[in-house]
Amino acid sequence: MERFLESFLRFPLEQLPLIVVVLLIAFTVHEFAHAFTAYKLGDNTAKEQGRLTLNPIHHLDPLGTLLILIAGFGWARPVPVNRYHFKNPRIGGIFVSLMGPISNFILAILGTGIFYIFVVTGVAGSLHPLVIQFFNLFIYFNVLLFVFNLLPLPPLDGYRILEDLLPTKVRAKMTQYESFGSLIFIILVITPLGRYTIYPVINTAIPFFIESIQRIFSIFL
């Protein structure tokens, strides 16, 4: 039975409980960051729909969570945002889109910082291997979500940021072809084409950011 399950999972079966916990935290904080930023900028839409919360039940998408375990990518339920409640819709839209990935990067920094404190104080040597594995997965997945969501492809946050940075006429044309862009994105993720397009970017960026965070803490701790 275990071999049967592992044949469908992207990650080892024994890591599954830890990965589920990590994703619960990472997805929830990511979506909460979107909702909280929109609320602070004047849009109550997410709050009125019960999304201004750290309760993961309100943020997780069952299919999106399952796919990240099977295919290595996935998503949470998008936070509803009415950009026209912002004083400056474009600037507000950029901040809302950006804060989701940034929240994951902050989580990765916090995870690294806590683990480095364990190392410096000598506690790390007495930690259970599962705890160490949890920190490794926590840092990895949060950096992954940071990098992945900044890709300029619909429906990712990076695409929304790009939309708001470009002139209105270009944005209008992008909107016309957005559905095709989403289809291209799915094809790139689930087919071997991704090995020659988005995966090299992700696989290069993740070690770079993890090593950069570790270097910063190694200097001060």
Nearest CA to 75 out of 174, 189, 162 is that of: 189
pLDDT score at 175: 84
Indicate yes or no: pTM above 0.85: yes
pLDDT score at 63: 74
pLDDT score at 31: 96
Under 8 Å between Cβ of 22 and 134: yes
Nearest CA to 164 out of 99, 90, 80, 98 is that of: 90
pLDDT score at 9: 54
Torsion of CA 143, 97, 110, 209, to 10 degrees: 30
Under 8 Å between Cβ of 93 and 86: yes
Q: 3-state class of 76 per DSSP?
A: strand
Nearest CA to 198 out of 209, 187, 208 is that of: 187
What is the 8-class DSSP label of residue 210?
H
Specify the long-range contacts of residues 120-125, CB closer than 8 Å, at least 24 apart.
120/221
Bridge partners of residue 47, in order along the sequence: none
pLDDT tens over the chain, length 221 residues: 344 334 445 667 778 789 889 988 999 999 999 999 999 999 999 999 999 999 998 998 877 777 666 666 667 889 999 999 999 999 999 999 999 999 999 999 999 999 999 999 999 889 999 999 999 999 999 999 999 999 999 989 999 999 999 988 888 888 888 888 888 888 887 788 888 888 899 999 999 999 999 998 888 76
- What the block records as the tokens of 138 is 């926590």
Bridge partners of residue 60, in order along the sequence: 76
Please give the positions annotated as active site: 31
pLDDT score at 2: 43
φ/ψ of residue 136, rounded to 5: -60, -45
Calpha distance 182→153 (Å, rounded) = 7
pLDDT score at 145: 92
